[in-house]
């Protein structure tokens, strides 16, 4: 009788043609189900994977074991981290930390460079918070800033919107990067370090794009949002201090990065290494961030923070965890087919640098689903089994997939419509400004990643 470990070593099929045909069929059907029939991404991913097993020549017993192993292993490694990360985002959203961070950066950078300050704010806020939620919170401040600075919304908001999406895609603890780290078994500390480095450079170019293109696009600010922010409503005293607004984000990132540094620089049994192994564990590091964020809550939020915020986080994370699990299942299935070697050899035959494969797959995944998170997960799922053959590091693969995952935001993206609606921008202006900045950010990010990879830094 064949046991589970034997099935994990066995091939689902020995036919390269069947394996490649099945992979192409999964991607094509996913595209049709989402774009034509508007299926939810979870069902749209599950059905093609299950149908893959019905292709003649597939060993069903091995397929089932691969599905369960990939799904269970991925969910086990990332589920709690995703939930805690979203609880942290809830705390930042409801305590006013997002506004305090933005106000602090505006005052530091200066009102004459308001669009740069907002771009930097978006870069910080995109690390823990979903991009569309972040923009909903900041929208009144953006309109107010545009009116005070006498510029239009394309100039004022484009850099912010692009930067927020960059860190959302590249820097944990948002779900896309977390999922990719789990699928690729990347070092999270290194991902945070290089994700921040790449995304801040790309954000600067996105800001330059806004300055160049924004003034040419009709997009007047609206007075209807004036007075809706804490500051304009005379409630700045209700916001946390600058230190306590930044701390829930920075402390977990520093702990996770410190764990990676300690692992590289200190002996395994060193007391600091042993301490950081626990404190830098993402579950603990993010939980500390949650405690700091909850320290900023007011008395009237005492009940909401232990009930409503947690329930919101669980609802939001459930779909993401299931999609991540399916990505892990697909990755394990591919790992046990000849498709991995065939694609790796085909990539080598083209003469193109291997680092562009996860980048292109990230673009395809994003364009199919309209979701950066799903785009990153899809790319990571497919490339994960191929990394040894392609000589790619997990960190380089993850960052390249993320760079592709932000190209491009257009009419099938909820983030695009949130930003277009709230900025009150005409559709043509939004396509040029928001769609354009995502292309600029993605291309610049990939250029930086390619340089780092060529120099064998990542």
What lies within 8 Å, CB to CB, of 160 at 6+ separation is 115, 118, 119, 121, 122, 135, 138, 142
Instruction: Name the token pair of 59.
Output: 């060993």
The domain containing residue 283 runs over which residues? 4-454
In this prediction, residue 1 carries a pLDDT of: 45
Residue 362 contacts residue 97 (beta carbons within 8 Å): no
In this prediction, residue 69 carries a pLDDT of: 94
In this prediction, residue 36 carries a pLDDT of: 83
In this prediction, residue 60 carries a pLDDT of: 94
Q: How many CB atoms lie within 10 A of CB 311?
A: 12
d(CA 293, CA 288): 9
What lies within 8 Å, CB to CB, of 279 at 6+ separation is 255, 258, 259, 285, 288
Instruction: Name the token pair of 325.
Output: 């699990």
How do residues 74-124 score in pLDDT, each as one tens digit?
999 889 999 999 999 999 999 999 999 999 999 999 888 999 999 999 999
How far lies 404's CA from each of 131, 209, 231, in Å?
17, 19, 37
Kindly tell me the burial class for residue 194, based on how many C-beta atoms sit within 10 Å of its own C-beta (0-12, 13-18, 19 or more): buried
Residue 375 contacts residue 362 (beta carbons within 8 Å): yes
d(CA 104, CA 98): 10
In this prediction, residue 147 carries a pLDDT of: 93
Query: Based on the structure, what is the number of domains in the chain?
Result: 1
How do residues 24-55 score in pLDDT, each as one tens digit?
999 899 889 987 888 888 999 999 999 999 99
In this prediction, residue 367 carries a pLDDT of: 83
pTM for the whole thing? 0.90
Instruction: Name the token pair of 176.
Output: 């896309």
d(CA 213, CA 63): 51
Find tokens 């299942």 and name the residue. Answer: 329
In this prediction, residue 34 carries a pLDDT of: 84
Q: What is the CA radius of gyration of the chain?
A: 22
In this prediction, residue 226 carries a pLDDT of: 82
What torsion do the CA atoms of 88, 92, 98, 100 make, to the nearest 10 degrees?
-130
1: DSSP letter: -
How far lies 413's CA from each of 64, 134, 406, 410, 431, in Å?
33, 16, 11, 6, 12
pLDDT below 70 — which residues of the chain?
1-9
How far lies 255's CA from each of 81, 87, 258, in Å?
14, 18, 5
Instruction: Name the token pair of 105.
Output: 């950066």
């Amino acid at each position: 009788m064949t046991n589970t470990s034997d099935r994990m070593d066995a091939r689902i099929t020995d036919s390269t043609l069947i394996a490649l045909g099945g992979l192409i069929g999964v991607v094509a059907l996913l595209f049709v189900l989402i774009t034509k029939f508007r299926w939810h991404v979870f069902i749209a991913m599950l059905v093609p994977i299950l149908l893959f097993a019905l292709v003649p020549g597939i060993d069903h017993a091995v397929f089932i074991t691969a599905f369960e192993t990939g799904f269970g292993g991925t969910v086990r490694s990332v589920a709690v981290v995703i939930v805690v990360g979203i609880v942290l985002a809830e705390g930042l959203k409801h305590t006013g930390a997002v506004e305090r961070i933005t106000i602090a950066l505006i005052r530091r950078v200066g009102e004459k460079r308001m669009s740069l300050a907002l771009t930097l704010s978006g870069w910080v806020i995109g690390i823990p918070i979903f991009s569309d939620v972040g923009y909903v919170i900041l929208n009144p401040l953006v309109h107010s800033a545009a009116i005070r600075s006498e510029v239009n919304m394309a100039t004022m908001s484009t850099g912010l919107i692009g930067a927020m999406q960059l860190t959302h895609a590249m820097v944990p603890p948002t779900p896309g990067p977390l999922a990719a780290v789990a699928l690729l078994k990347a070092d999270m500390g290194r991902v945070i370090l290089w994700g921040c480095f790449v995304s801040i450079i790309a954000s600067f170019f996105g800001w330059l794009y806004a300055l160049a293109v924004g003034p040419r696009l009709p997009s007047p600010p609206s007075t209807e949002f004036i007075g809706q922010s804490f500051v304009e409503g005379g409630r700045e005293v209700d916001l946390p201090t600058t230190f306590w607004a930044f701390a829930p984000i920075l402390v977990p990132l520093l702990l996770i990065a410190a764990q990676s540094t300690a692992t590289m620089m200190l002996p395994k049994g060193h007391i600091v290494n042993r301490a950081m192994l626990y404190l830098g564990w993402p579950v603990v590091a993010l939980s500390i961030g949650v405690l700091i964020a909850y320290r900023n809550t007011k008395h009237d939020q005492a009940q909401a923070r232990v009930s409503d915020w947690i329930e919101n986080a669980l609802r939001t994370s459930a779909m993401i965890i299931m999609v991540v699990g399916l990505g892990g299942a697909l990755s394990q299935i591919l790992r046990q087919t000849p498709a991995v070697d065939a694609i790796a050899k085909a990539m080598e035959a083209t003469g193109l640098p291997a680092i562009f494969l996860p980048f292109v797959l990230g673009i395809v995944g994003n364009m199919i689903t309209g979701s950066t998170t799903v785009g990153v997960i899809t790319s990571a799922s497919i490339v994960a089994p191929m990394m040894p053959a392609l000589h790619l590091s997990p960190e380089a693969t993850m960052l390249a997939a993320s760079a592709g995952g932000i190209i491009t935001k257009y009419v099938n993206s909820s983030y695009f419509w949130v930003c277009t609606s709230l900025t009150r921008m005409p559709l043509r202006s939004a396509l040029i400004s928001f769609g354009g900045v995502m292309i600029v950010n993605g291309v610049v990010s990939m250029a930086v990643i390619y340089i780092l990879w060529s120099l064998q830094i990542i």
